[in-house]
Structures are given as C-alpha cells and as structure tokens.
Amino acid sequence: MLSQSEFDALPKVRMGRRELLAGLAAGTVFPFAATGCTAENPALGRRQLMLVSDDQIAQLSDQTWQAARQRERVSNDPALRRQADRVGSRIANASGMSQHAWEFVVFDSDEVNAWVLPNGKVGLYRGLMETTRNDDQLATVIGHEAGHVAGRHAQERASQQMAAGMATGLAAVALDQADVQNAGAWAGVLGAGLTFGVLLPYSRRHELEADRLGVDYMARANYRPSESVIFWQSMMDQSQRGAPPAFLSTHPSDQERMNALNSHIRSRGYA
Ligand SMILES: [Zn+2]
C-alpha cells in the first residue's frame, strides 16, 4: 500500500502519456502495481490490490456519510430504530471488526435499499426493513453489508480503478496537471470506488464473498442462516414481478449465486 506521503507525491511526477504507457509496459513506472501494493486479506484468504490507505478511505467515507445523512430523511420511528440497533450491534460484534464506529441509521423512504461505507456506517431504508419478515432476515442484510466491509471491497474497486486509470491515460492527464487539480482527480477516483454498493453494482466475486462472510456472522450472532436464502429469494421474486428493488441493482443476484449461498450453508452445517 502507498503511504500518505507516497500518495501525495504521485501527482508531482511529470510525464507525458506516451512515456507513461511505455513505462507501464516496461514495468518501470508505478512499480507498486506489481510489487508491494497488494495486501493479504485474512477474511477472504486472498491478496488484494490496495493502492489506497485506510486514512484516505476513512476520510472520504466520513464525508460521504455526512452528505447522505443530510440528503436523506432520518426516520424517527422508535421500533425501526431499535430493531436496526439491536440486529446491527449483534452482527458488528460477531464480525469482530471493533476498529469501526458502527452506526445503523434508518432512512424514512419507501426505497427497498441498504448500503454500507468502509467506515462501518450502514444506511437502512424503511422500505427494506418493512420487506424483511424477522430479525434473521435483517441480519442477512446487515451481515452481507458487513461482509463487504471485511472484504475491503470498496477499497479494492478504487484501487482497480486507479490502476485502470493509469493504464488508460487518466493518470497521464492527472500527472501533467498542477497539484491542486490532481488532488481533485484522485479524490474523484477514490470517490468512484466508494460508490460501489451505494450507486453501482458490486462484482459477482464480491457478492459471493459478502454472502459467505454474512452468513458466518449470522451464525456467530445466533441468527438463522437459512433465512438468508428466503430473503434473497424474496428479493428476486419482487424483481420478477417487475418491481426490482434498488438493493438488488447494487447487489445483483441470480440462481448461481443462490446455489453458492446454499452450498456454503450446507458445508458449514448451518441450519
Ligand atoms: Zn453485496
């Protein structure tokens, strides 16, 4: 991973697009893309490209969270708020991610949606909470979202976008500009990484990983993992009735994913 000072230094390199592409091809430019910039993620058991620091992502997450809380109407419904806190805190504890100040906020909207930011802030829409039939199904949603945090999926997508930007010349443009403009360009790329799961769909790989971690957290928190199958099936059914929930557009589901979820539940011996 880049240190903050290395990251700050990046835009100061002066190089034309042609030189940059040649350097990338020869492996002389951005050696971090090939060497020390992957990190082992113990929750996933695989290495990830990681070009952004926890500090950078935390800062952007905080800004995004403040903006969301101003944009959406926060619900005052005491029952919904209690349920979000009750289920959310049990899943957060079971996930072992005590480094985050977890927060579970209910937005007063019919939208069937939920999302998470890498800093452990979870937005739950009333429409989604009303769709869940019990705490186990809400634990499915929160467990899955916590799985995306443990999987560092937003950071991975931002890193992949940065690498792709470098390859396609976005970096060359950024690198040739003044520092101030570059700061904005990089923040834009990082911010785009954060929009995965909020506005843009997660990849299939990320979905499968979040499913597995999510049901593991459910089981550890004494929720019934079998309810996750019922919940996702109901989301897919709603979709087939012509009213696709917003939640499914960012967390795409299909029969293949359901099969993987079922086989994980069986292999762990969960009920
Ligand atoms: Zn997901």
Q: Identify the residue with better confidence: 177 or 252.
A: 252
Q: What is the mean pLDDT of the chain?
A: 84
- The answer to whether 190 and 56 are in contact (CB under 8 A) is yes
Number of domains in the chain: 1
Which member of 72, 145, 207, 256 is catalytic?
A: 145
pLDDT tens for each residue of 8-55: 443 333 344 455 455 555 544 454 444 468 899 999 999 998 888 888
Distance 176 CA to ligand 1 centre (A): 37
CA distance 241 to 133: 19
CA-closest candidate to residue 188, choices 27, 48, 19, 11: 11
Distance 23 CA to ligand 1 centre (A): 36
Map residue 78 onto helix, strand or coil: helix
Average pLDDT, integer, range 158-182: 59
Average pLDDT, integer, range 119-123: 97
State which residues have CB under 5 angstroms from ligand 1, the bound ion.
Answer: 202, 207, 210, 251
pLDDT tens for each residue of 191-244: 777 888 888 899 999 999 999 999 999 999 999 999 999 999 999 999 999 889
Q: Identify the residue with better confidence: 72 or 17.
A: 72
Share of the chain above pLDDT 70, in %: 78
Q: Is 207 a catalytic residue?
A: no
Distance 105 CA to ligand 1 centre (A): 18
Mean pLDDT is lowest, of 15-19, 41-45, 72-76, 259-263, for: 15-19
Distance 3 CA to ligand 1 centre (A): 29
Q: What is the pLDDT of residue 161?
A: 80
Full domain range(s) for residue 40? 1-271
Distance 86 CA to ligand 1 centre (A): 21
Average pLDDT, integer, range 91-116: 97
